[in-house]
Chains A and B, each alone.
Chain A
Amino acid sequence: MDADFLDNWLVQARKGLLELCVLNALSRGECYGYELCRQIEEVPGLGVTEGTLYPLLSRLRLAGLVTTRLVESTDGPVRKYYQLTPAGREALRLMNDHMERMQQGAVRLRRPRSTP
């Protein structure tokens, strides 16, 4: 097997899943950037750096799927918290539905074909 092929595929897969995973993580409650990064890292094979995460979060904000708020912190600089908007929740629901259907479809393709 070509290792490059797998690596490429994993990169593409991470790209496709990253937004879904970020939205799913935010659906559990608001987070700031570093905290979100730590949560995403728990997904096997889905390591992400903050350098990658912040542009993604900015895109999501511009799309109206997340909002941000600044919180003053007594023990450090201000933190920016991210949370889902209603549009974000709706988009997440649709994405999860699609993901589930695609996964089920992909699993069905593994079964032997039924003879007519």
Chain B
Amino acid sequence: MTHWSAEAKKLLERALLEAGRKAAGEGADADEVIGDLRLRVEQELAATAVEVVATDDVASVLTKLGVPTPAAEEATPATAKPAEPPVKPAKKHTGCLLTAGMFLSWFVPCVALAWEVLAKLTDIELSCRILFFDPLPSWFHALLIATVPVVNFAGWRQVCGSAWPARYRPVLRVLWGVALAVSLWYGIRFVAVLPIALIGLVAIIYFGLGLLALLPLAPYIGLGGLLAHHQRFDEPGQGRGKLAGFTGATLALLAMLASSFATAHGLRLAASEEPAEQVRGIQFLRQWGDRSLLADRCFGASRSEFGFGDLMDPLRAIGHTPDELQRIFYRAYGQPFYMTSAAGKRNGLRGERSRVDVAFDRGQGGDNVGQGVSGLSLAASRIDGQVEPALASAYLEWTLEFANSASVEREARAQIALPPGGVVSRLTLWVNGEEREAAFSGKSQVKAAYQKVVQARRDPVLVTSCGEDRVMMQCFPVPRDGGTMKVRLGITVPLDLLSAESASLRLPVFLERNFNLLRLAHNDVWIEGAADLRADGADWIAATNKAGAVALHGSLAPATVLEGIAPLRMKREAGSSFVCPDPIVKTQTIVTQFAVHTAAPPARIVFALDASVGMKEPLMKALAALPARWPGAEIAWVAAANEAVASSSPRPWDDGALDDVGRFMGGLAFGGGQDNAPALLKAWDLAAARPHSLVVWLHGPGQELISSADALRQRMERSPGGPRVHDIQIGAGPHRLVEQLESLSGYRGEGVVAEASGVLKDWCASRVAGLSYDVVRTRVEESPPGAVRVDSPHAARLWAWTEVQTLLDRHVPVETEKAAQLAAQYYLVTPVSGAVVLETAQQFAEAGLSPMSASVATVVVPEPATVLMALFGAAVLGLRVWRRRRRS
């Protein structure tokens, strides 16, 4: 180590003082010059490696450097002002405490950030996100927060003596500014949580608990580290980089908070009592709101388990219930809140992985399907069907197997769209490998029986009606830890008559479900019974069953349980009358009669269009399938668009009519979830203004009920002869408005389709031709002479279903009661009846129910006798037709 003599020190100080004065006189910075010269003197002396520095050594170096050596003076010279070097050089070790503190200043924020990122990706419950508030609403926030451990890591390295490469200093200065802004920002947000965190810190130290309490302390620890080394990357006048970083980060954080303020503002407007303000709020949210922020609120989970929220969160004061928020979300964005994909495909399984499932099933035992629950899957799907073209009927059995990988029991719930006109006529549950049949009774009775058994955690399954051609199925419990549960629905369906000689059949699909389809490999379908059965697509294989009947079967893609398939088509013999024994009331016979009428074309067809998000393309495709002209008819269109109703005046359906439709569509603003009720009402009124008119309603799914269907129901109930509403839903999904239009004779569902052009084309073709094909089923005591006898249980059920609908349409309590009794008698799920399978005979008895007997249960495979009878009937019919032609 080098020692200095006192005289040498004095000499150096005098020389430097003098040089500093001279430099100041020339306009230079005296301190800087003194510092530079001092450094050079020290370097030169160090190079000489002297052990004791004397005045001669100092003089020699000063001369070498060109610094005048002051003359020796007796008087004590004025002490040279101790010059500070321009920048403090880094010291290798400034103490263990500082080193440890600097280590924590990057380590703790790093761990906190990593934990919160992991919690966000894997939905860990023990995280700041769940306990307090979400510190990472976006990945940009994570990037900003990451600057804190990065900058403090550089500072820690500096403290430990590792020089930071000089080329990174400008970047580090900017990052320092960013990190400071971020630390202050989160420090303010966590202020309310600080007491809890400090208590937790004591708990960590004393009880050795987890590190969770350190998460809220992370911004303060990071801030300490930043302040401890804020000079280490800096030089005089180099604070601009830090200021730029600080300003930029603050502005960015404020800008991101702006979206929260915008969302809060939009929510306040959307939740207003004033309809005009609601519309403004919805449109504001659609334009400026933060969709993911609103979706987060819709889940209904408390944002702070301890009641401490984010002080800077403007949505903190939003007191709306999750149901209200979900409705507002749907109106603004036209999608369920639990779909994370903003684009949102309506069909197929493309959105399956973007669906957020929850761990806790809030809807268990309730009346709604609700949100998806984690761990519950549809493992297998099988449809067995038998068609009877002669009787224009079919029977399908849909067997579903659910699997549950969660650690708790689950209830599987789904809303199913039946083929148009279909009715559930059988329900079976497998209990310990044995099939148990359902009891059919009044809706409230079966529901009560189901809920009671669910609470006892036994095995029931329930099917009830929830709209035109829609049923809700609930089964519980699907056992946990890989357990499975299997149910079967039997559906009796009237075939759709395309002409006297052809018919079509659609398959049931899921509209809404709380289970995923990720485990479903395929949808196995087997349809038999028609000589000429055709299906689109290459997945079908033709075969014959053991009874010699022709069949089509295929292992279809899993998406077909949502999207359905193009209708199966078949030829039918154009017979006029068939009789079937009634399997329930054995003294009765069901007569099925076919008639072809010439029907006047509708005078006016009003199209009610849904301009919700994603509907533009499907509607354009559907309308392209319309005929270019319809002689004698008028066309009008009404649209639910932009939270309002747009409409056109009726005009003749001639050349140019479809161009007008195209222009009308082009002027619509598609977006959000539109309220179709006012548009449908307007369309009905337009149609009712002219006799023999009808409404075609083209719409997508509608997960929320925005306004009630009461006004429309009133019109349709009070005008039984009024315009009919034909409903075509494009895309799988529930529609809450459709669920309210049950039991109306003037309403007819044409099905849920992936694409409407085919359905619309068929629908128009028959009506343009002016023909209508009627099937009338009546129950008589004696068969009429000459009628062909067919042994089929389905005709009776279809007769009963029609009777129930007729009774309900009268809207008289006595008739409604009769309808319920008839439905229960014929084992049908209707608006006034349901089906429930209970585990034991005792449970049935306690509920006052009796299950369907196996002898009356409908089955898919026909008896050989039935086939022979059908062939015989066809032969007799053929003979009669031949004789009639001979006579003419």
Contact = CB atoms under 8 A, between A and B. Distances in A.
Contacts of A55: 19, 22-23, 26, 28, 33
A71 B235 contact: no
B39 A51 contact: no
B668 interface: no
B37 A68 contact: no
Interface residues of A, number: 25
Contacts, number: 77
A33 B235 CA distance: 17
B481 interface: no
A52 interface: yes
B46 interface: yes
A80 B68 CA distance: 23
Nearest to B62: A51
Contact of A72 (B28, B36, B90): B90
A72 B66 CA distance: 26
Interface string A41-81: 00000001111101111110110000011111010111010
Contact of A50 (B26, B40, B42, B163): B40
A34 B22 CA distance: 20
A79 to B, nearest CB: 9
A57 B39 CA distance: 15
Interface string B518-545: 0000000000000000000000000000
- Most chain A CB within a 10 A radius of its CB, from B36, B37, B68: B36
B99 to A, nearest CB: 18
Nearest to B32: A58
B46 A51 contact: no
Contacts of B37: 50-51, 54
Contacts of A58: 23, 28-29, 32-33, 36
Interface in B34-51: 36-37, 39-40, 42-43, 46
B632 interface: no
A69 B27 contact: no
B886 to A, nearest CB: 109
Contacts of B23: 54-55, 58
Given A58-B29, A58-B33, A61-B32, A77 B42 contact: yes
A48 B22 CA distance: 16
A62 B67 CA distance: 21
A70 B235 contact: yes
B169 interface: yes
Most buried by B among A56, A58, A76, A77: A58
Contacts of B43: 76-77
Given A61-B29, A61-B32, A80 B86 contact: yes
A58 B87 CA distance: 14
Contacts of B66: 48-52
A102 B23 CA distance: 29
B89 interface: yes
A77 B28 CA distance: 24
Q: Which of B32, B90, B235 has the most CB atoms of chain A within a 10 A radius of its CB?
A: B32
Interface string B45-89: 010000000000000001001111000000000000000001101
B89 A72 contact: yes
A66 to B, nearest CB: 12
A82 B166 CA distance: 13
A71 to B, nearest CB: 5
Contacts of B86: 68, 70, 80
B163 A72 contact: yes
Nearest to B40: A50
Given A55-B22, A55-B26, A72-B163, A77 B39 contact: yes
Given A69-B166, A77-B43, A77-B89, A54 B36 contact: yes
B89 to A, nearest CB: 5
A38 to B, nearest CB: 13
A62 B36 contact: no
A106 B90 CA distance: 52
A26 B727 CA distance: 82
Contact of B46 (A48, A76, A78): A76
A16 B39 CA distance: 27
A69 B169 contact: yes
Interface string A86-110: 0000000000000000000000000
B48 to A, nearest CB: 13
A101 B462 CA distance: 102
Given A51-B66, A55-B28, A69-B235, A80 B36 contact: yes
Contacts of A69: 166, 169, 235
B235 A68 contact: yes
19 contacts: A50-B36, A50-B40, A50-B66, A51-B66, A51-B68, A54-B32, A55-B23, A55-B26, A58-B23, A58-B33, A58-B36, A62-B27, A68-B235, A70-B87, A70-B89, A71-B166, A77-B39, A77-B46, A78-B89
Interface of B: 19, 22-23, 26-29, 32-33, 36-37, 39-40, 42-43, 46, 62, 65-68, 86-87, 89-90, 163, 166, 169, 235
Given A69-B166, A70-B86, 7 more contacts: A48-B66, A51-B65, A59-B28, A69-B169, A69-B235, A71-B166, A78-B89
Closest A-B pairs by Cβ, 4 of them: A49-B66, A51-B66, A58-B28, A55-B23
